[in-house]
């Protein structure tokens, strides 16, 4: 058996989805008798790539066509000029990408990787697969049919990968085996428990630092400790109560020393989960919330990279659940239903779970699960005969992820603070279930009078801070205005002591009731402010619902096409922020139209002109779903 080749599956993930897809590929390969090796791209030595027999890459695209952090070193290696066009001759490869067709550069990373592997002499096993978050079944809508093609093609090219053919399937119950996670329970008496609390483990930063690295595979142990803790000092509604949406302005102070950040940066927050949901999960799974545990990966699964050493300190089971397992808001993956089926003792539940876990049941699972956004607790309560071991729950429950928000303040204007503009997310499912966004709802409910310390991390966003000499064209409808609030604050501070380049800003909302930061924008567009026409700037607002015919930011852009073109001719940069649905594509099309009209060139030439603008670093987009 050991003479048979190994199918290598490197994955590059930013949020965990590519890991989920890669694990699914690995499981399906193993069911067919194929030996597999699954690992993160940053654990893979690119120098050995030319020695592989077959490699299946699973890569996600982040932001506007950006490479996941874990893939950057690997990608730089592949771009070396000394690699010949024959370097990968004899290597068979396949690429499956995860992206969102709502973004302009849909699955850009998978497309670039596929082309580069081909240029280096690799042979594609099948045409690249492109998973789409917009598909009713998510990325699995493309992954299922792509895998069938993959196994068929690979078995023809290299039959020894599948000793009994690609159609042969090992029964699932033989593969379920042991979970990849190991739980160790510790006997700690009351005195030791009090000692742990007094030694700092009761502090939020120590709890996070000790607990999150224990979570296998999905967390980042090297950055588990928060950059800082914040205390909310202001929680202000920006929209009127009867407008149908709730947008808040939050101001936070640094609890300890301030962290330096730039305008355009992103703040990540680890939200607190609903305590009732956590208690319901623990009770439903018959767990002891007060037991002390350590969590580690079983040694055979080196790709999980969980640090296990003598310094690992036991932590309460309830604390582990609260800080690592998203039991109150995340929707489970298909594999969750597959594992549940092994532990269902009621026959009708077992049959239903097996159907949900199958390719045939994918659409019905979508209707039941994703469309209704059922939580882990709700799914478990729907199948009362299932009692899954805690080891399996840790492995298959989605991790509690940090939520990212564009910073809407300038540190020059607020030295010891950071501000956010947040839409409080609520929606109703097809079966009339009321749903709320975990982090935004939690933040909105916080009282600045309470001493709640919020764990936070700072990251570079997609909008680099502009120098004061750079003219700016800003386009940010709705909460897309958030980073530009910081840009204008920063430019206003700079203008007090130096001359600054002009800014024009296009903002959009439905009507006066959700005109975010109205007084702020108007004050800076008057009295020689940085958005005033006397300073070469401008502020233009599009109300989509104030009149019979809808008016969006692109309509205001067309009305001011000459001003946009003049600023571009003066070297201006364009910044776009907001929803990833239609807005970025509509804005891009409008900009190409303006360039064609004002410069007198063809639309095709305008597209090329704009691509050159983008390559020169003068076009930036930050969009979110």
479 assigned to a ligand binding site: yes
- The CA distance from 239 to 421, in Å, is 11
Instruction: Give the three-class secondary structure for 159.
Output: helix
14 assigned to a ligand binding site: yes
63 assigned to a ligand binding site: yes
611 assigned to a ligand binding site: no
Dihedral, 354, 357, 358, 364 alpha carbons, nearest 10? 100
544 assigned to a ligand binding site: yes
42 assigned to a ligand binding site: no
Q: Which two tokens stand for residue 320?
A: 């582990």
521 assigned to a ligand binding site: no
586 assigned to a ligand binding site: yes
* Number of CB atoms found within 10 A of residue 290's CB: 10
8-state DSSP, 369: I
- The CA distance from 553 to 546, in Å, is 14
- The CA distance from 312 to 267, in Å, is 29
Dihedral, 439, 442, 444, 445 alpha carbons, nearest 10? 180
439 assigned to a ligand binding site: yes
438 assigned to a ligand binding site: yes
Largest CA distance in the chain: 81
13 assigned to a ligand binding site: yes
509 assigned to a ligand binding site: no
- The CA distance from 60 to 515, in Å, is 35
Question: Closest Cα partner for 539 from 494, 614, 472, 599?
Answer: 472
441 assigned to a ligand binding site: no
164 assigned to a ligand binding site: no
27 assigned to a ligand binding site: no
- The CA distance from 297 to 395, in Å, is 10
- Detail the DSSP E strand segments found in 122-209: 123-124, 129-132, 181-186
324 assigned to a ligand binding site: no
Q: What are phi and psi of 576, to 5 degrees?
A: -125, 135
173 assigned to a ligand binding site: no
575 assigned to a ligand binding site: no
550 assigned to a ligand binding site: yes
406 assigned to a ligand binding site: yes
572 assigned to a ligand binding site: no
Q: Which two tokens stand for residue 72?
A: 């950057």
554 assigned to a ligand binding site: yes
624 assigned to a ligand binding site: yes
Instruction: Give the three-class secondary structure for 251.
Output: strand
133 assigned to a ligand binding site: yes
Binding site feature residues for FAD: 403-406, 437-440, 624
Binding site feature residues: 13-18, 60-63, 133, 403-406, 437-440, 479, 544-545, 550-554, 586, 624
Binding site feature residues for NADP(+): 479, 544-545, 550-554, 586
Binding site feature residues for FMN: 13-18, 60-63, 133
């Amino acid at each position: 058996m050991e003479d048979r080749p190994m199918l290598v599956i490197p994955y590059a993930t930013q949020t965990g989805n590519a890991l989920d897809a890669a694990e699914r590929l690995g499981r399906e390969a193993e069911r067919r008798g194929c030996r597999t090796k699954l690992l993160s791209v940053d654990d893979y030595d690119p120098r050995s790539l030319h020695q592989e027999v077959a490699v299946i890459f699973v890569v996600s695209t982040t932001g506007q066509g950006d490479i996941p952090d874990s893939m950057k070193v690997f990608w730089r290696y592949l771009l070396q000029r000394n690699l010949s066009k024959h370097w990968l001759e004899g290597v068979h490869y396949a690429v499956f990408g995860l992206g969102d067709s709502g973004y302009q550069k849909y699955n850009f990373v998978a497309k670039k990787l596929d082309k580069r592997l081909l240029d280096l002499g690799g042979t594609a096993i099948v045409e690249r697969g492109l998973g789409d978050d917009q598909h009713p079944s998510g990325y699995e809508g493309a992954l299922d049919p792509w895998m069938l093609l993959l196994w068929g093609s690979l078995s023809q090219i290299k039959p020894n990968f599948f000793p009994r053919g690609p159609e042969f399937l090992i029964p699932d119950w033989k593969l379920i085996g042991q979970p990849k996670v190991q739980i160790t329970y510790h006997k700690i008496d009351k005195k030791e428990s009090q000692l742990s609390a007094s030694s700092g483990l009761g502090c939020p930063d120590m709890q996070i630092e000790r607990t999150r690295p224990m979570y296998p595979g999905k967390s980042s142990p090297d950055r588990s400790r928060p950059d800082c803790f914040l205390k909310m000092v202001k929680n202000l509604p920006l929209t009127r109560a009867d407008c149908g949406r709730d947008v808040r302005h939050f101001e936070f102070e640094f609890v300890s020393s301030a962290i330096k950040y730039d305008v355009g940066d992103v703040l990540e927050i680890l939200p607190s989960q609903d305590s009732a949901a956590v208690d319901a999960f623990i009770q439903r799974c018959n767990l002891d919330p007060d037991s002390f545990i350590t969590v580690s990966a079983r040694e055979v699964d080196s790709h999980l990279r969980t640090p296990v050493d003598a310094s690992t300190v036991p932590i309460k089971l309830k604390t582990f659940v609260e800080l690592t397992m998203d039991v109150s808001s995340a929707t489970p993956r298909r594999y969750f239903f597959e594992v549940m089926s092994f532990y269902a003792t009621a026959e009708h539940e077992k049959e239903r779970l097996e159907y949900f876990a199958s390719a045939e049941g994918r659409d019905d699972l979508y209707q039941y699960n994703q469309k209704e956004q059922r939580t882990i607790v709700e799914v478990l309560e729907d199948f009362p005969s299932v009692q899954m071991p805690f080891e399996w729950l840790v492995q298959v429950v989605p991790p509690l992820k940090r939520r990212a928000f564009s910073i809407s303040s300038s540190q020059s204007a607020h030295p010891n603070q950071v501000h956010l503009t947040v839409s409080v997310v609520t929606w109703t499912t097809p079966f009339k279930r009321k749903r709320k966004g975990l982090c935004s709802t939690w933040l909105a409910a916080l009282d600045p009078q309470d001493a709640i310390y919020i764990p936070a991390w700072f990251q570079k966003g997609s909008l680099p801070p502009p120098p004061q000499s750079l003219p700016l064209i800003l386009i940010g409808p709705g909460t897309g205005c958030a980073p530009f609030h910081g840009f204008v604050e920063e430019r206003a501070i700079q203008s007090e002591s130096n001359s600054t380049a002009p800014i024009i800003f296009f903002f959009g909302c439905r009507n006066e009731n959700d005109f975010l930061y109205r007084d702020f924008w108007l004050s800076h567009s008057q009295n020689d402010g940085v958005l005033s026409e006397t300073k070469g700037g401008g502020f233009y607002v599009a109300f989509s619902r104030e009149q019979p015919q809808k008016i969006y930011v692109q309509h205001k852009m067309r009305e001011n096409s000459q001003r946009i073109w003049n600023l571009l001719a003066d070297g201006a940069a364009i910044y776009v922020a907001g929803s990833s649905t239609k807005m970025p594509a509509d804005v891009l099309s409008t900009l190409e139209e303006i360039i064609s009209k004002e410069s007198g060139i063809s639309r095709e030439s305008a597209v090329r002109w704009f691509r050159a603008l983008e390559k020169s670093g003068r076009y930036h987009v930050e969009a979110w779903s």
